[in-house]
Amino acid sequence: MQDYVNEEPKQEINKRTGRRAYYLMMLLFGGLCITQAILNVSLRLTSHCDKESIISECNTTQPIEDINCEQVTPAQCNRLRERSIALSRDVKTLEKTNRQHVEVIKKVEEERKRLISMLNEMNGCVPSQRCPLGWTEINSRCYFLSTEEKKWEESRQQCQSKGADLVVINDEKEQNALYRMNGNQYLLFWIGLRNTDRTLKWVDGSELKDVFWQDGQPDLGGGNNTEDCVEMYHQSPALANWNDVSCQTLRHWLCEKDLCFIL
């Protein structure tokens, strides 16, 4: 019986970097809008230098510079006017900065859509469809079951050529969902699990947690160390159908990938 060694998962490449940049730009833009609104309020509160309007504003807002709202002098009014001018200058600067950021956000959005379109085209996606043509969506993931048979390594290369990889089964829910997915109880296909240096590893480097071996498996080919790749054998029960077999055996394969980006 083989010893299982859990491997630390590798850092996954984030495919949504463009979206994060877009969200950050939107947050920045929102912050600028809030700042502008605050300045506009301050400008409104300090733009009226007649005694009556200042008293009215002071009675409903925080006093500015501890001015006695009942005794507004011309000097105080001048100070407020100077402050108003300074705020107007700041608002104009902020409006200019805002316009620049609006243009930046517009360009980021255009670039995001362009990159998503390119990525979708590379992955065989079509508009308004979450998975490429010929793929099946299961639990917000895309799967492709081959109609032909190949060796394990060749099967993986076929998946990679489609922007995917051999399936990584993360839990019992996914295992059940993939069981006899085409209705064929005799179905056999490769999964992305392989023995390397007596350690079972998923193709994405993630930790091997839940396992669904057939009774007596894995056996490494009866001690001959000739069975290093793993297939799912659907004639066995749903939660006990993994079998290790020679990587040179011809089998169908199951690819897995993320959903398509929807513009």
pLDDT at residue 2 above 50? Answer: no
Q: Which amino acid is at 40?
A: N
Token pair for 25: 């730009």
Q: Which amino acid is at 67?
A: I
**Which residue range(s) make up the domain with 24?**
17-122
User: What is the tens place of the pLDDT at every residue in 55-109?
Assistant: 444 444 444 444 455 566 777 777 878 888 888 888 889 888 888 888 888 888 8
User: What is the tens place of the pLDDT at every residue in 122-162?
Assistant: 777 766 678 998 999 999 999 999 999 999 999 999 999 99
Could you tell me if 78 and 146 lie in one domain? no
**Could you tell me the pTM of the whole model?**
0.58
The answer as to whether 211 is a domain residue is yes
Could you tell me if 34 and 112 lie in one domain? yes
Q: Is 195 helix (H, G, I), strand (E, B) or coil?
A: strand
Please enumerate in sequence order all residues whose Cβ is within 8 A of that of 86, keeping only pairs 6 or more positions apart, or say none. none
Is the CB of residue 104 less than 8 Å from the CB of residue 124?
A: no
Could you tell me if 203 and 108 lie in one domain? no
Mean pLDDT, to the nearest integer, of 185-200? 92
Of 92, 122, 152, which residue sits at a domain end? 122
Beta strands in 54-184 (DSSP E): 136-138, 141-145, 165-166
- For the chain, helix, strand, coil in percent to 5 are 40, 15, 45
d(CA 10, CA 18) in angstroms, rounded, equals 21
User: What is the tens place of the pLDDT at every residue in 26-66?
Assistant: 455 455 455 545 545 454 544 444 444 444 444 444 444 44
Could you tell me if 151 and 63 lie in one domain? no
Report how many domains make up the chain. 2
Of 122, 155, 190, which residue sits at a domain end? 122
The answer as to whether 263 is a domain residue is no
CATH number of the CATH domain containing 160: 3.10.100.10
pLDDT at residue 222 above 90? Answer: no
Share above pLDDT 90 across residues of the chain, in percent, rounded to a whole number = 41
